[in-house]
Amino acid sequence: METKTRTEYSARNTTVALVSRLTAIVMGYLLRVVFTHTLSESYVGVNGLFVDIIEVLSLSEMGMGTAITFALYRPIAEGDIEKQKSLMRLFARLYRAVAVIVAAVGVLLIPFLGMFIRDYENVEHLTLIYILYIVNTVCSYLLIYKKTLMDAHQLLYIGIFYQTMSWVLQDALQIAVLIVYHDFIMFLLIHIAATVLCNVCISVRADKHYPYLKEKDAAPLSVEDKKGIFSNIRAMLMHKVGAVIVNNTDNLLLSAFVGLASVGRYSNYYLLIGSVHQMLSQVYQGITASVGNLGVTEDEAHVGQVFEAAFFIGQWMYGFAFICLFELLNPFIEISFGGQYVFPETTVFVLCVNFFLNGMRNATLTFRDSMGLFWYDRHKAIVEAALNLGLSLLFVNFLGLTGVFLGTLFSMALTSLWVEPYVLYKHGFHKSCVSYFLRYSLYVAVIAIGWLATDWLCRELEVLGIERLWQVLSCRLILCILVPNIWFFIVYGRSREFRFLLGKANSLVKKGRSV
């Protein structure tokens, strides 16, 4: 198999991941528009709600993927095939157990569905719909564990290619079914079929790359290896519990305290904000395996330099995206779905701040997980989850749906924003994290100035008499693209991080020309 440098693998993985996510966003948007106009608002809400319930059930996965991936980095770097075989055998058994647990717990929850849905009588075949979501989740655990091995070998782009093809086929068929039949059950059956097809294709490709996956003579892992893996799994379980409560209880709270219609309105914003977040996160997903290899082969100083460059990329990307989302979301939602789906500007601001703060964590989380440091801040996740649930329940009584999102914001600010970098610097780089927070403060100040300038210019469009929504959206889009990026380039054009990244880009271009 052809061997490339970490930079080349990262570039290829990131490029394919970005194209994939962009394709998924376009198809997902088209699907959501058709979904919203062919099914009732209640079905839109049910879709968002059941996705969150499934995420809670998926806690049984316990972060095994992250723990096993970290365990694979050293044997891959050392060419230890036997160790890789042993790890994958363990991974296969664990994922099959997860599939059984998800199915069992999911079925046990059926009698309690009414507790999560305030106006469930508006939805036909609710139990069948829920069972189909469970079936799709169980199918997603079968065979997909082999993708982890390819990802750890820095071949993320292969799995992403198959996922993208299945998404495009799935979305196209679902759009046709919604337009012709308006049938939500058929919509879900197509999703299940696409999941199975994708997993089979990835499994076949993994077997081709790594024939030893089919060998039955894998030796059991040592007691010491198993102890380390299960310790990491326990730590990741805490992180996953926290993440699920923080990220996937908003729809449950909205459904229970505000109504299912509010879940439908929020799901449109979540589709757009979440899609942008997922697309930008592909940059970090694309470098994850390379960072894992870096951590086991290079010194801390070099790893720290790469982290600073990754953090710099993140602040530029998420700062720019924050500005675009705040200025463009409401007119885009109104054009696409109708004025009844538009949130107040205050709510949109809270959603966008949450998006920005979550995005700024990506660099830290990528390096923390790739360096196997998730044990040290495991309790943080539980504290954040408790704060999020408590604050959201408190605020929803006074501020409605905005209060739910404020609870998420405050719980993150009180925990993750400072604990995660502290752990990375103390246990990964073995130095003070003061420089990180000073740099963070600078980045936020620069982004704030860029946002205020862009927002002022966008509001001036009203003074100029531009009132039609598509014209407002077009003019705002141009301003959002130009103003922040010109400002960021003025501020950072001569910075060390910018020059480091420019050098990496130039080396890739030169290698591409020499091929």
Cα torsion 52, 53, 59, 61: sign: negative
Dump the DSSP string for 184-198. HHHHHHHHHHHHHHH
SS3 309: helix
Pull the structure tokens for residue 234.
């326990």
CB 32 within 8 A of CB 268: yes
pLDDT at 432: 92
Q: Are 324 and 279 within 8 A, CB to CB?
A: no
332: which residues sit within 8 A by CB, 6+ positions away? 272, 473
Query: Cα 373 to the chain's mean position, in Å?
Result: 20
> Tokens in use for 209?
């790359």
CB-based burial label for 209 (10 Å; 0-12, 13-18, 19+): middle
Q: What are the pLDDT tens digits along the chain (515 aa)?
A: 455 666 777 778 888 888 887 888 788 788 878 887 887 666 766 776 676 666 666 654 556 777 778 888 888 888 889 888 888 888 888 888 888 888 898 888 888 877 766 555 556 778 888 899 889 888 888 777 788 888 888 888 888 888 889 989 999 999 999 999 888 899 999 999 998 999 899 889 988 988 888 888 878 888 888 888 888 777 777 777 777 677 666 666 776 666 656 666 777 888 789 888 888 887 787 777 777 777 677 667 778 888 998 899 999 999 999 999 999 999 988 888 788 888 889 999 999 999 999 999 999 988 888 887 877 888 888 888 889 888 888 888 888 778 888 988 999 999 999 999 999 999 988 899 999 999 999 999 999 999 999 999 998 877 666 667 788 888 999 999 999 999 999 999 888 888 888 877 776 666 555 44
Report CA-CA distances (Å) from 311 to 179, 273, 331, 373: 44, 20, 31, 18
d(CA 477, CA 473): 6
CB-based contacts of 447, cutoff 8 Å, min separation 6: 315, 319, 322, 323, 356, 484
Distance CA 136, CA 127 (A): 14
How far apart are the two ends of the chain, measured CA to CA in Å? 17
How far is the CA of 424 from the CAs of 311, 360, 419, 433, 500, in angstroms? 13, 14, 9, 8, 22
Question: Which tokens sit at 62?
Answer: 């316990």
Residue with tokens 């400002």, as numbered in its chain: 487
Q: Are 252 and 244 in contact (CB under 8 A)?
A: no
Query: Which structure tokens are listed for 267?
Result: 């799901």
This prediction's pTM: 0.74
Determine the pLDDT at residue 122: 59
Task: From residue 249, give the alpha-carbon distance in Å to each of 62, 185, 390.
Answer: 18, 25, 12
d(CA 429, CA 431): 6
